Amino acid sequence: MYDAGAMRPRATLISVSLLLTVIVPCIRARGSAARTLLYVANSKGDDVTVIDVASMNVAGTIKVGANPHGLVASPDRQTLYVSVEGTDELVSINTATLEVQKRVKVGHSPNQISITRDGRKVFVPLLNASAVDVVDTTEMKVVDRIPTPAMPHNTYVSADGRHLYVGSMGGSRITIVDTGNHKLIGEIAPGNWVRPIALTRDESIAYVALSALHGFAVVDLKERKVIRRVELPALRPGTKAPPFDTLTHGLALTADQRELYVTSMAGGAIYAFSVPALTQTAKIQVGRYPNWIAMSPDGRYVFVSNQLDNTVSAIETRTKAVVATIAVGQEPKRILAVEVLP
């Protein structure tokens, strides 16, 4: 006698098996085709240099407009967004073809951008407008403007996607905003102009670069206060300070959050620190005015842009040695490493 209930598990297993037979090779095929690209915003030019990380060679150049500033990738890694300071625009780029897709006008002097976890909103700080524009990525249009302290410079979305952190230079503040309703949650005053920030995934600590500090501040995000200041080794007497007294600019945590890399712009070096002890473990000499740091997705490399040398240095995280120096465009600053699919 036919028993539908008895046959159903067998049929389900056969269906799942057939489905996996089709899907798994596709996943493997796509995964095998993935490659890591490093995007470099050339701040005094009009383009973004694209570096193939496997070969450490330039793979292409994307013309975006005068003075590209910030970079962020969509969660699906299919789109790269670039803020263009000279034209007051946010530009979207197809990561497979390296072609510009859309442009949208934003406020004056857009700086370092960030994106929500679902990829539906990009936050664009406007250095000369004391605000952050919110861009809907589906329609590529500005849908809101969030007031901030003066000269908002860099933005970061927390790992859980709930909070936006805005570092303001003139306002000397870190402003915390709800990414859903765009309302102010709180502010932190770490002591001077706020430059780049590195957030821990659990949103407990922020490592913050400040103007005039050759090092970084450690901010307790729950208590909203500075709990420690870490200074890099003293600079040689007579060392010229970069513009805006920016002695330190780039900071980045490794994916396992066991190391923090920090630039000395004035000293032409990048330092590695253990986390959470913050013991210095290495000093790596790079180029002039090392500006921004990016980590490769697999954690193998740390990249730093050398602003005055028009190069990017690739450092192997295991050996702490420079393994490549790649020529790029004019005054590179923001850089971003992304694993993309063709």
Residue 22 burial by Cβ neighbours in a 10 Å radius (0-12, 13-18, 19+):
exposed
The pLDDT value recorded for residue 33 is 74
* Predicted confidence (pLDDT) at residue 24 exceeds the cutoff of 90: no
- For 127-131, the CB contacts below 8 A with 24+ separation are 127/85, 127/151, 127/152, 127/153, 127/169, 130/171, 131/107
Q: Which pair of structure tokens corresponds to residue 207?
A: 């490592």
Give 34's pLDDT tier (boundaries 50, 70, 90).
confident
Q: Tokens 């329609």 sit at which residue?
A: 139
pTM: 0.89
Q: Tokens 């250095």 sit at which residue?
A: 127
Q: What is the mean pLDDT of residues 267-273?
A: 98
Q: Which residues lie closer than 8 Å to 280 by C-beta, 6 or more apart? A: 271, 272, 273
Q: What is the mean pLDDT of residues 307-335?
A: 98
Query: Percent of the chain at pLDDT above 70?
Result: 91
Q: Tokens 């697999």 sit at which residue?
A: 298
Q: Which residues lie closer than 8 Å to 117 by C-beta, 6 or more apart? A: 75, 157, 160, 161
Question: Do 39 and 335 form a contact (C-beta atoms < 8 A)?
Answer: yes
Q: Which pair of structure tokens corresponds to residue 241?
A: 């300070």
For residue 276, cis peptide bond before it (omega within 30 degrees of 0): yes
The pLDDT value recorded for residue 341 is 83
Of 205, 175, 172, 195, the closest CA to residue 273 belongs to 205
The pLDDT value recorded for residue 342 is 75
Q: Which residues lie closer than 8 Å to 97 by C-beta, 6 or more apart? A: none
- Give me the chain's average pLDDT, please: 91
Q: What is the mean pLDDT of residues 8-22?
A: 36
Residue 49 DSSP symbol: E
The pLDDT value recorded for residue 12 is 34
The pLDDT value recorded for residue 20 is 36
Q: Return the H-helix or E-strand segment holding 303.
A: strand 301-306
To 5 degrees, how large is the angle CA 218–CA 223–CA 225? 45
Instruction: Measure the CA–CA gap between 338 and 96, rounded to whole angstroms.
Output: 12
Name the H helices within the chain: 4-33
* Predicted confidence (pLDDT) at residue 1 exceeds the cutoff of 60: no
C-alpha 172: how far from chain center? 21
The pLDDT value recorded for residue 334 is 98
